[in-house]
Amino acid sequence: MKHPDFAKRFKQAVAHAGVEDTQEALARLFDVSTVTIWSYRNGEKLPHMNTATRIA
């Protein structure tokens, strides 16, 4: 199932936060893999609740 709305909002939130926008940096920041960051950016999956709170 695709989640294009989450992907768009995730990208906007990263830009708004002013953090380094690389898969590696975001993976370290949120304590997930780079594949997971790719999945969020492309709307392939949603974060688990504990990860969502770190992203927020």
Domains of the chain, each with CATH number or no CATH: 4-55 (1.10.260.40)
Residue by residue, pLDDT tens for the chain (56 residues) are 799 999 999 999 999 999 999 999 999 999 999 999 999 999 999 999 999 888 88
pLDDT of residue 56: 80
One-character DSSP codes across 10-53: HHHHHHHHT---SHHHHHHHHTS-HHHHHHHHTTS----HHHHH
CB atoms inside a 10 Å sphere around CB 33: 11
